[in-house]
Structure 1
């Protein structure tokens, strides 16, 4: 923990006396960045085109499932009253499912009967329409003057 340590004193290095001063840098021309970039690119040689990238193919690897290491026979302790309660609940659920299945069967039968009745009405209507058309074609209509 660096919170409680004293700061170390940095010793100042003495100036180097034996080195000559550096020369001034030459002035750069004031070109906009685009022109400077273009000038820099003009001096570069053209590069050959890159070869095409090889197609990446993912190799199918077999999937491995981790084996669950569970004991062969696990001993489970359940209170008898809880077990009876669970069994009663399962029986009640089974009765409700059977009741719902019976209701759905009745609804399907009613729907089938309704379909037959509607089909019969459609046939009767078609027959009546055919008779009206037959009578209408046999009767001559007086021409209007």
Structure 2
């Protein structure tokens, strides 16, 4: 049996590698990417650009293990981010696909308005297995 600490580290490393690959595909550097490996696991990528509807708010891509990728805008207070649209029914979409989604949304062609319920949060072994190729460099921003 693999110790829990080791599997947590592997999941964190894999999620960071995937998030960095998505950030790179979107033109964002690693300093723009953060992850939270709690339950639900999540990721955040700060993007350049603004939405016409929210010209004074920063834009970000956000991911969580229940709903996948979404485009969000920052609020003016300590409130949660305001989700604008969702990518769809791929929990771990390829980085290039996430980048195309972000570009379309920033140009005024948003994705889904309602969050897809893709899976329950918690079992990170499943996610680690699917994200592992990003750690080893087998999958890049393609």
TM-score by length of 1: 0.16
Structure showing greater relative contact order (alpha-carbon pairs closer than 8 Å, 6 or more residues apart): 2
TM-score, length basis structure 2 = 0.16
More helix by share: 1
Greater gyration radius? 1
Bigger strand share = 2
